[in-house]
Amino acid sequence: MADKPESGEILGIPYNFERPSLGRMLSAYWQPGKKMLVKKPFGIGYTINLANWRSWAVLAVVGALLWQEQSSAKSAAEAEAEAEDEPVEVIVED
């Protein structure tokens, strides 16, 4: 039986199924001088390089969007609860 490679690329997408070590995990997310996306230390695809300023900008935008979504969901729920408590006037015309 042939040994299957534990790391490589399929259709340009990197994969790595070698057992990760703590040092390799930490160094994978902090690579100064590299681009914003770097190969994952374990698994398939890419991850964010926290040594690149663009990664922090992306994380800030994602955090702001999540905060906005949660606050709008809360205000919509509060408005719905308020509307349920108020009496409703029904006008019937003959």
**CA–CA distance, 94 with 90 (Å, rounded to integer):** 13
C-alpha to C-alpha distance for 79 and 82, rounded to whole angstroms? 5
| Phi, psi angles (nearest 5°) of residue 34 | -100, 170
* pLDDT given at position 2: 61
Whether residue 1 is predicted with pLDDT greater than 60 in this model: the reply is no
Q: pLDDT by residue (tens digit) across 42-64?
A: 999 999 999 999 999 999 999 99
Tell me what pLDDT residue 45 has: 93
What band does 24 get if pLDDT is binned at 50, 70 and 90?
Answer: confident
Q: Report the C-alpha gap between 33 and 70 in whole angstroms.
A: 35
Q: pLDDT of 79-90, one tens digit each?
A: 777 766 677 788
The burial class, CB within 10 Å (0-12 / 13-18 / 19+), for 50 is middle
What single DSSP character describes residue 42?
A: S
- Sign of the alpha-carbon torsion through 41, 46, 52, 53: negative
